[in-house]
């Protein structure tokens, strides 16, 4: 059984001129449900008839200025899900400790 996974993922969208916008990011997931992502970077890839690709890296600022970064969002849960789960677990542990201390103080 696989308990966790990590690595690089990508998303791509075809642009009207035949090129592709590619978003590449790192991810770590537990049970494919709770994930955290970081290190997003953008590339423009142009296909050639011989099967090769020309790759042009874009900064996040360039992608935002051109508006093409909106085509490839990383979902909220895939970006922050693991941190939300850890935070919820810590909040539950804190509340149960406080309740047990308050009940025990009577």
H or E element that contains 50: none
Q: What is the pLDDT of residues 70-103, one digit of tens each?
A: 767 788 888 888 889 899 999 999 999 998 888 8
Whole-model pTM: value is 0.73
The pair of structure tokens assigned to 50 is 């011989």
CA–CA gap between residue 61 and residue 52 (Å, rounded) = 27
H or E element that contains 106: none
Q: What is the pLDDT of residues 1-43, one digit of tens each?
A: 468 788 899 888 888 888 888 889 999 888 878 888 888 889 9
By three-state DSSP, how is residue 53 classified?
strand
Rg (CA), the chain: 21
């Amino acid at each position: 059984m696989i308990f966790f996974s990590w690595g690089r993922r990508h998303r791509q969208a075809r642009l009207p001129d035949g090129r592709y916008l590619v978003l590449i990011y790192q991810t770590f997931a537990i049970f494919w449900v709770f994930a955290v992502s970081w290190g997003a970077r953008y590339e423009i890839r142009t296909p050639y008839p011989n099967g090769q690709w020309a790759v042009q890296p874009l900064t996040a600022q360039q992608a935002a200025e051109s508006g093409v970064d909106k085509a490839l969002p990383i979902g909220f849960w895939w970006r922050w899900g693991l941190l939300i789960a850890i935070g919820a677990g810590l909040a539950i542990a804190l509340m149960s400790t406080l309740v047990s201390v308050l009940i025990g103080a009577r």
